[in-house]
Amino acid sequence: MADLVQLVTIGLLAGGIYAAVGVGFSLVWGVLNIVNLAHGALVIVGAYLTWQIFTASGLDPFLTLPIDAVALFALGYVVQRGVINRIIRAPLLFTFLLTFGLNLIAVNVLLLIFKSDFRSVTTAYSGAGLDLGGIVVPYIRLAALGSALLVAAALALLLNRTRVGLAIQAVGSDRDAAQLVGIDLRHAYAVTYGLGAACAGVAGGLIAMIQAITPTAGEPYTLQAFVVVILGGLGRVSATVVGGLVFGLVEAFAQSIPGSGSVFANAIAFGVMVLVLVTRPQGLLGRLR
């Protein structure tokens, strides 16, 4: 029984990270209809930013998260406005390839700068955790879960209660109608991608605290983000959060089966995805897109 609770705990904690990674991805997909293959790269850029600031200044990594958000927002805005906007009306294949190309550029530029050595962010409280009757809950992971939920809530608030957010939703609903009511499409698109990147950056900062990072460490997160969004369903932030948590649980349980282990991470992700696509394509909470 205790093992079960521990497993669920592990799953939920991991799920928080997945949710954080997923919400930015879901936003960009839902509004811009772009499956951002560079999402993992944005995550890892955020991770490196946190690591760099932490290493250079000793600032607590959780305090670097807002910096991650702002910096990645700016990066995302520029990329969307300058590059991705140019082919947004082309068939799906092209946006796919473009984001893949951007991913290639980003990851390899990181490799040039940071080499492929593993880096990690270790604070004084890195190893410590709560002990709830035998169930171990590492502080960092708990705070990460909290931060992830906070980010999701902030995003949802922004989308639903601010002018910017409503403009983004309008653009996502009907691009042409949004233009007719006076929304600057290029700007709206860039802001959306920027927000997606900002969420990715924060997720990256959280990841830097939890695992060792290297430029290629972001790759699996793209596929996992995709699975999370499919699992939860496209449409609302809450759907992605649920998707992330459920995926965390699924992964925790799958990995506890003797003989598997984290080597099968991608295979598990893929398996879940195909299962959902074939049985319930709109995901747990979403609408069909």
Partner 1 sequence: MTTSQRWQRILIVLGCAVIAYAVLAPLTSLDGAQALNLPLLTDKLWFRLATITAMFVVMATAWNIIGGLTGYAAFGNVAFFGIGAYTTGMLIAKAKWPFLLALPLAPVAAAIFAVLVGLPLLRLRGHYFAVASLGVGVAVGELVQNLDYRGEPIFGGASGLFMPIFAVPNRDLYFFYLMLGAAGVSIAVTWAVIRSRFGYGLIAIRENEEAAAVIGVNTTAYKVAAFALAAALTGLAGGIFAQWNVFIDQENSFPIAYNVEMILMALLGGTGTVFGPAAGAVVLQLLIQFLSGSLPITLDLPFVPEDAMPVLAQVVLGVLLALVVIFAPRGVIDFFGGRSRLTIAYLRRSLRETSI
Going from the C-alpha of 85 to that of each of 92, 164, 262, the distances in angstroms are 13, 19, 37
State which of positions 188-247 bind partner 1 (CB under 8 A): 189, 223, 226, 230
Instruction: Please say whether the beta carbons of 77 and 190 come within 8 A.
Output: yes
Q: Is 259 in the site for partner 1 (CB under 8 A)?
A: yes
State which of positions 29-58 bind partner 1 (CB under 8 A): 29, 33, 35
Q: Is 109 in the site for partner 1 (CB under 8 A)?
A: yes
Q: How many Å apart are CA 150 and CA 74, to the nearest integer? A: 21
Q: Shortest CA distance to 37 belongs to which of 223, 265, 273?
A: 223
- Cβ proximity to partner 1, 86 vs 161, nearer residue: 86
- Scan for tokens 């990256």, then name that residue: 204
Q: Is 136 in the site for partner 1 (CB under 8 A)?
A: no
> Could you say which of 185, 212, 284, 285 contacts partner 1 (CB under 8 A)?
185
- Cβ proximity to partner 1, 9 vs 255, nearer residue: 255
Contacting range for partner 1; rule: CB under 8 A; set: 6-14, 27-35, 55-63, 157-165: 27-35
Q: How many Å apart are CA 127 and CA 105, to the nearest integer? A: 34
| Strands (E) located in 29-187 | 129-132, 135-138
Count of residues touching partner 1 (by CB under 8 A)? 47
Q: What are the φ and ψ backbone dihedral angles of 135, each rounded to 5 degrees?
A: -90, 125
- Binding residues for partner 1, rule: CB under 8 A, are 29, 33, 35, 83, 85-90, 92-94, 96-98, 100-105, 107-109, 111-112, 185-186, 189, 223, 226, 230, 259, 263-267, 269-271, 273-274, 277-278, 281
